[in-house]
Amino acid sequence: TNIAVFASGTGSNFETIVKAMEAGRLDCNVSLLVCDKADAKVLDKAKAFNIPTFVFNPKDYDSKADFEQEIITQLEAKQIEWIVLAGYMRLIGTTLLSQFESKIINIHPSLLPSFPGKDAIGQALEAGVKITGVTIHYVDEGMDTGKIIEQEALRVREKEDRDSLQQRIQELEHRLFPETIQRLVSNNLEK
């Protein structure tokens, strides 16, 4: 099974997915990284692991439909079956959604439907919740609204600061994401 990771940032989740694949814990090939920022750190990681990349600037296209059509061409050339969003800071449009129906997943650093959108960790701290966590969900046209696939909770510590909570959320992501992708690609999950 060929999968593509879409990421615009640091790429720590991208890295754990690639490492899980190399360690034989993930029964698929990370065949392409799609990135919409030419200076994203995740590109250095792709280079280090020899993963092909498609880097584009949305501003070079007239519309989302246009750049998503180009992405589809790139995905088809690599026979991609699944799209994994890992910090791709952009809503997916109908062009990609209709071509990859129920084959696009995202990871989000809160227990959805609480705290969708940007800075979910900051939102959770601001709200003073005692429990937060990580959600992996199918992607639809909304912002972090698709059907939930997997969640895991984590208890916020007394007076915990942002760095600490963010680090613990990331550790959780790095375990949960490869595990869940493996269950999906091996068909071990109910739709």
Residues serving a catalytic function are 108
- The minimum distance between CB 182 and ligand GRF, in angstroms, equals 18
**Greatest Cα-to-Cα distance within the chain, rounded to the nearest angstrom:** 50
Residue whose beta carbon is closest to ligand GRF: 87
- The minimum distance between CB 12 and ligand GRF, in angstroms, equals 3
Beta-ladder partners of 191: none
Nearer Cβ to ligand GRF (61/93): 93
- The minimum distance between CB 120 and ligand GRF, in angstroms, equals 7
The verdict on whether residue 143 carries a ligand-binding annotation is: no
Please enumerate in sequence order all residues whose Cβ is within 8 A of that of 108, keeping only pairs 6 or more positions apart, or say none: 116, 120, 134, 135, 136, 137, 144
The verdict on whether residue 164 carries a ligand-binding annotation is: no
The verdict on whether residue 91 carries a ligand-binding annotation is: yes
Nearer Cβ to ligand GRF (11/178): 11
Q: How far apart (Å, rounded) are the C-alpha atoms in residues 30 and 5?
A: 7
Token pair 């600037």 in the structure block, residue:
57
Nearer Cβ to ligand GRF (31/106): 106
- The minimum distance between CB 165 and ligand GRF, in angstroms, equals 11
Nearer Cβ to ligand GRF (69/120): 120
User: How many C-beta neighbours within 10 Å does residue 37 have?
Assistant: 17
The verdict on whether residue 106 carries a ligand-binding annotation is: yes
The verdict on whether residue 11 carries a ligand-binding annotation is: yes
Residues near ligand GRF (CB under 6 A) are 7, 9-14, 86-87, 107-109, 173
Binding residues: 11-13, 64, 89-92, 106
